[in-house]
Structure 1
Amino acid sequence: MTVSAIEANAAAAVLGVDAPALARDTPAKPSARRLLGLYLLLGFSAGLPFYMFNAVLTLRLARHGVDIVIIGFFAWIALLPTFKFAWAPLIERYDIPGFARFWGRRRGWIMLSQLGIFLSMVAMAFTSSDKSLPLTALFAILLAFWTTTLEVAADGWRIELAPTQTEQAPIVAANLWGYRSAMVAAGSGAILVAAWADWTIAYLVIAIAAFAPFPILAAMRPEREGTGGRAPALASGIGASLLILLTAALIAAAAGWILLSVAAGMGLSAKTNVTPFVLAVALLPFAALAMALPRINRLSAGTAATLPAFAAPYVELFWRYGYAVLAMLAFVSLYRMGDVLTLTLSHPLWNAKGYSLHQIGVADGVVALSASMAGVALGGLLSTRLSLGWTLGIGAVTAAVGNWVYVWLWHADPSALVLYTSVAVDQFGNGFAGAVFVVYLSMLVSPTYPGAQYALLSGFAFLLPRLLAGASGSMQTQIGYDGFFLLSGALSFAAIFLLPVVARVKGRIPA
C-alpha cells in the first residue's frame, strides 16, 4: 500500500468517513466540522506537555534557587523540535509495530508519542526536587522529544488534508486553539496545583491529562477491515513502544553524558559568557546551506525524487526556491524570536518581582488563554482575507509589542493589574503571529513531502531563537530584564525589513 493510501485510510478511521472515498485519485474532503475537531484534539494533545519542559520547568528551577544562567541553559532543551527534520522522514516511512497494523501509521506514531510523553512527565514528577540537575534535564529532553514527534506526525497529515491557504487558515486556528489552550491549562494548572500541594503532584496531574487522548485513539475503529483484533494490536503495540522508549532514553542519557563531559573539558560553567559561542553556532547552518546551494541549483528538475528518502525532501525545497531560501530562512528565524525569548525568562521575571504562584497561575490561565485565543482567531481570520505579506507584518508588530510590555512590568510596582495586562498583551501578539506564521510555512512546502519539509522549516524557524534562549540567563546578567526584553522585541520587529523580499519569492515549478 502506498503512503498516500495509508494516510487516506488513517484519516478515514479518525474522521469517520469512508476510506475508499479518501483513497480515490481525487480524495473526498472530510467535513469541515470533523476536520476542525480533529485538529483541535491533536493540538491539545501536543500542547499539554510543552510548558512542562519549558516555562513551568524554568519557574520550578527558579523557586528552587537555581542560578539564572543555568536556568537559561535549560532553554536549550527546546532545541530538540528545531532538529525534528532529522527524524521526520522516519515517521513518514516506518510503522510502529502493533499500533500501525490496526490503527494506521499516523495514529501509531501519535500513540507511541503519548506513551513517551506520559512516562517522561511521571519521571519528572518523581525528580521534582531538582537535586540532580542532569537527571532533571534528561527527563525534560525525553519529554521534548516525544512531544515533537507527536507534532511531526500531525503536521504532515494536516497539510495533506488541506493543501491551500484558504483551507489551512481555519484548521491552523483550530489546531492552535487546542495547542495554546492546552499550554495555558498545563502551565496555569501545574502552577496552581504546585501552590496547593507540590511540584510532584503538579506534574502527575498534567501527565494524566496528557494521556487522556490515548484511550480515545485506542477505542477508534481500525484503519481498514481485516486487520485482526484490537486487544492483540494494543498489547503488541505497547510492548514495542516500551522497547522503543527505553532505547531512546539510553541514547539520550549517553549523548547527555558526552556533552556534559565535553563542556566540562572546555571549562564551560555558569560563569562563562556563552553568547559569542551561540552566535557563531547559529551562523553555521546558513554558511553550510550557502555553500551547498550552487550545486543544488544546477540539478535538473526531478533529481530530488531519485535521492535517498532522508535527503530528497530537503534538496527539493532548496532547489525549488534557490538562493531566495536564505532570505526566507533568515525571515523565519527572526519572526518568532520574541516569543521564544519571552517564554524563557518571563516566569523567572515574575518570580523576581515577587509575584506569588497563585498570581502567576491566574496569569498563565484565564488571562493568557483568553488573549491568546483572541489573537489566534484574528490571525486566522485575516489570513483568509488579506495577503500573507500584510498579515505577517501585523504579526511582527504585535509580537514585538508583546515583548516590550515586559519592560513596563519590570519598572512598575507589582500588582495584579500590571501582571495580567502584560500577559494579555504578550499572549494576544504571540497568538496572532503564531497563526499567521503556521499558514505561511504551510504554503512553502511541496505536496510530495509535506511532513518532512514542514518539519525542516518550522524547526529551522526556532533554531536561532532557541540557541539565543539558552544564553538568555547570561544576557540578563549583563543588560538586565528591561534590556533583555527591549532586545527580544526589536529582534522580532526586525523581520519586517525582510518582508518585501520574501513576499515576492516564487518557487520553481518542475517541468
Structure 2
Amino acid sequence: MTAISSPPAAVPHPATIPPIAPGKARMALFGLLGFSAGLPFYMFSTVLTLRLQAHGVALVVIGFFAWVQLLPTFKFLWAPLLDRYDVPGFARFWGKRRGWVLLSQLGIFSAMVGMALTAGDQSLGVTALFAVLLAFWTTTLEVAADAWRIELAPTQDEQGPIVAANLWGYRSAMVAAGSGALLIADASGWSAAYLGIAAAAIAPFPLLLATAPDRPGTHGRWTALAHGLAASAAILALVLVVTAALGWVVLESASAAGIGSQSNVTPYVLGICMLPFIAMAIALPKIRRAAPTSRLRRSAAIGPYVDFFWRYGFGAIVLLGFVSIYRMGDVLALNLSKPMIRDLGYTLAQIGRADSVIALAASMVGVGVGGFLVTRWPMAWTLALGAVFAAIGNFGFVWLAWQPPSEALLYIATGADQFGNGMAGAIFVVYLSLLVNPRFPGAQYAFLSGFAFLLPRLLSGAGGAMVGTIGYNGFFALSGIVSLAAIPFLPALSGIRPRASDLPA
C-alpha cells in the first residue's frame, strides 16, 4: 500500500504567523490549547448523558441530545470569520488567533456555569440551550487553535509532534474532566460537578494573557484586556440570544413534525446522510470549470471550500466518504457507552475511577503511538492500523457486557477503548491537516474535520432508537464493524492527487 500524498505546502503570509518558537515551547503551547478544548467535551456529551439518565430521561431523548455534538460539524459556517476578523481588544495586543482563543474560553466558562445552574434538568430545552452554547464555544476554540497549528507547522514531520502534544493536552483534560465530574457528582451533585470543571476550564485564561504578545512592540496590555472583556461580554450575549431563538424554532418544528420520545428517526437520518454527497456530485462540474476570477472562488464566505473541491475534483467525494466513516464507530459508541456501563450495575464512582488514571494513561499512549507512526510509516498504513485498534476498543464493550460486574474488567474495556480512540485520533488529525490548502487553513480544516463527524453524529442521535431495536450488544458490535469499514477506501485514496492551484500568490 503506497503512501497517501498531500499537496505541497504554501508559505502563509508572515503577518499571519505569530512568533512562536519551535520545539518544546510550541509543543507546550498546543498542549495547553488542547487542554482548554478538552475540558468541556465530556460535559456536553457523556457526562450529560449520565446526568439525564439519572433524572429519568428516556433513552431515545438522551440519544437526541447527541445531536448537540452536530454543532462542531457545521463549524465551517463561521470558521471564515476567524480567519478574516479580529476580536476587539484581545487581538490588538495578543494577535488574531490568541484573541479568538481567549474569547472562546470565556464562552466555555459562561456556558458551563449555565449548565451548573440548571443541573436539575427540569426544562430540557434550557439544558439543551446551554449544552449547545458549550459545544459552540468549544468548537470555536478548536477552529482558532487548528488554524494556528497549520500555519506554524505545514508539513507531515512538523505536524506529528505538535498534534501529539495537542491531543495529549486535549485527551488528558477530557478524561480528567469526565472522571472528575463523575466523582464530584457522586459526592456533591451535578451542579458542583459542572462548577468544578468550569473553574478548571478558565484556568488557562490568565496563563495565555500573561505570555508574550503575538505582536512585538505592542503596548497597552490592560487597555486591550478591558476592551477585550467588554467586547466579549457583548458577543457572548448576542450568541446566547441568537442560539435561544434558533433553538425555539427547532423545537417547535420538531413538535409540529410529531417527533417525540417514542419516534424512530433512524430511516430519516440515513436519508439525510445521503444529501451532502448528492449535492456535491451536482455542484462539482461547475466548480471544476471555475476560473480564478469567478465569484465562487473569490468569495470570502465559500471560496475556501470551493477551493477544496476545485483541487480534488470528484476525488473529493471519495475523500469525504472516507473521512465521514473513519471515526464513525467511536462517535456512535461515545454517548451510549456510559449509560450501558451504568445499566450493567457499575456506580458513578467506579466509572469515574476507570475514566481517570486508566483512561488517561491508555489515551496518552495511543496518541503517542499514533503521532510517532505518522512520522515513520506511510499514511495509508497508519490509517489502517488506527481503524483496527478503534474497532477493538468498540468490541471491548460487547465483551464487557458478557462479564460479571468487575471494576478490573471495566478498566480493561475502558483502556482498550481509549487507546484505540487516541491512536486513531492522532493519525486522523495529521491526515486531515495534510489535505488542507495552507492558503485557507482555518476554514478548510474546519470543513474537513466538521464533515468527518457530520454523518456519525447524525446517526448517534438515533442511537437510543437503535439500541431499542438491536440492543446494546448489537449496537457496539455494529460500531466496531463500521470502524473497519474505512479500510477498503485506502487503496483508492492513494491514487487521488490535487491539481496545482492557479490562484495568484
TM-score in same-fold range (> 0.5): yes
**What is the distance in 2 between the residues matched to 1:42 and 1:334?**
27
The aligned residue for residue 331 of structure 1 is 322
CA-CA distance at 1:66 after TM superposition: 1.0
- Shift in alpha-carbon separation, 1:305–1:137, aligned structure 2, 3 A: closer
Q: How many Å apart are 1:228 and its aligned residue?
A: 3.8
- Out of 344, 369, 392, which is 1:378 matched to? 369
2:30 to 39, 47, 68: 39
1:7 aligns to what? 16
Residues 70-124 of structure 1 deviation map (CA, whole Å, 9 limit, x = unaligned)? 1000000000100000000000000111111111111111110000000000010
Distance 2:452 2:196 in 1: 32
Tell me if 1:509 matches 2:493.
no
Residue 116 of structure 2 is matched in structure 1 by: 125
- Secondary structure at 2:486's aligned position in 1? helix
Q: 1:163-218: CA deviations, max 9, x gaps?
A: 11111111111110000000001000111111111111111110010001111122
Matches within 5 A, 1:453-492: 453-492=444-483
Name the Cα RMSD after superposition.
1.4
Matched, 1:443 2:452: no
User: TM-score, structure 1 length as denominator?
Assistant: 0.94
Distance 1:378 1:33, change over 3 A: same
* Aligned mates of 2:430, 2:122 — CA distance in 1: 42
User: In the aligned structure 1, how far is the partner of 2:478 from the partner of 2:279?
Assistant: 27
Deviation at 1:63, TM superposition (A): 1.4
- Which position in structure 1 is the counterpart of 2:395? 404
Are 2:151 and 1:160 aligned? yes
| Gap regions ≥5 residues in structure 2 | 1-10
Q: Deviations over 1:445-495 (max 9, x none)?
A: 111111110000000000000000100000001100000001111111100
Q: Which has the higher contact order (CA 8 A, sep 6+)?
A: 2
Cα distance in 2, alignment partners of residues 421 and 44 from structure 1: 25
Which of 238, 244, 259 is matched with 2:235 structurally? 244
Deviates more, 1:91-100 or 1:223-232: 223-232
Alpha carbons of structure 1 residues 377 and 356: separation in structure 2 relative to 1, 3 Å: same
User: Pick from 408, 412, 432: which aligns with 1:417?
Assistant: 408
Residue 222 of structure 1 deviates from its aligned partner by: 2.9
Q: Is residue 70–residue 473 contact of structure 1 (8 Å, CA) maintained in 2?
A: yes
2:6 corresponds to: none
Q: How does 1:144-223 map to 2 (within 5 A)?
A: 144-223=135-214
Pairing of 1:82-121 with structure 2 (within 5 A): 82-121=73-112
Secondary structure of 2:263 counterpart: coil
Tell me which of 345, 351, 354 is aligned to 1:354. Answer: 345
* Equivalent-residue separation in structure 1 for 2:319 and 2:258 (angstroms): 36
Asked if the contact 2:53–2:62 (Cα under 8 Å) also holds between the matched residues in 1, the reply is yes
In 2, distance between residues paired with 1:458 and 1:296?
21
1:339-390 Cα distance to aligned partner (Å, 9 max, x none): 1111110110111111011110011111111111111111111111110000
Q: Which residue of the other structure, out of 217, 220, 223, is the alignment partner of 1:232?
A: 223
Say which SS state the counterpart of residue 402 (structure 1) adopts. Answer: helix
Q: Give yes or no for contact 1:62–1:351 (8 Å, CA) kept in 2.
A: no
In structure 2, the residue matched to 1:135 is 126
Deviation, 1:231, is 1.5
User: Quick one: distance in 2 between partners of 1:159 and 1:275?
Assistant: 37
3-state SS, counterpart of residue 385 of structure 1: coil
Partner of residue 279 from structure 1, selected from 259, 266, 270: 270
SS of 1:386's equivalent in the other structure is: coil
Letter in 2 for 1:353: L
